[in-house]
């Protein structure tokens, strides 16, 4: 149990385009979802926390207009990187948390912006 999927697993896009990443909890209801970013050889940095049906809470330094987060259902959250630039190239990882507060991580999405 407690499986979290992400789609796509990797994406390459041109500078200036927008990219949407999906995070799904497959076998439990996720009241809270988290989005992390990881640059090469670095740790995971929390970008934002989203609760189902409410606006996401962004960490300091993360632009909410650039990284749009939608958590419209208890099993799906999406992260849209708007007007992506090469510096947004990174590994994006989501996690989902249900009633027990434990976080379950997705496999990550590798974004490369050309």
Which residues contact other proteins (rule: CB under 8 A)? 32, 34, 36, 41-46, 49, 51, 57, 91, 93, 95, 97, 101-108, 110
- Nearest approach, Cβ of residue 104 and other proteins (Å): 8
For residue 90, give every residue at least 6 positions away whose Cβ sits within 8 Å of its Cβ, in sequence order, or none: 37, 38, 39, 111
- Nearest approach, Cβ of residue 16 and other proteins (Å): 26
Are 32 and 48 in contact by the 8 Å Cβ rule? The answer is no
For residue 12, give every residue at least 6 positions away whose Cβ sits within 8 Å of its Cβ, in sequence order, or none: 112, 113, 114
Closest to other proteins by CB, 18 or 57: 57
For residue 42, give every residue at least 6 positions away whose Cβ sits within 8 Å of its Cβ, in sequence order, or none: none
Closest to other proteins by CB, 42 or 83: 42
Closest to other proteins by CB, 2 or 83: 2
Closest to other proteins by CB, 75 or 90: 90
- Nearest approach, Cβ of residue 43 and other proteins (Å): 5
Phi, then psi, of 42 in degrees rounded to 5? -125, 175
């Amino acid at each position: 149990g407690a499986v979290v999927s992400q789609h796509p697993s990797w994406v390459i896009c041109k500078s200036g385009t927008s990219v949407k990443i999906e995070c799904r909890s497959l076998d439990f209801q996720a009241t809270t979802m988290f989005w992390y970013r990881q640059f090469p050889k670095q740790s995971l940095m929390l970008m934002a926390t989203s609760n189902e049906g409410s606006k996401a809470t962004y960490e300091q330094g993360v632009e909410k207009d650039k990284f749009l987060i939608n958590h419209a259902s208890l099993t799906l959250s999406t992260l849209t990187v708007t007007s992506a630039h090469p510096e947004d190239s990174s590994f994006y990882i989501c996690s989902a948390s249900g009633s027990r507060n434990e976080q379950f991580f997705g496999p990550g999405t590798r974004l490369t912006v050309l």
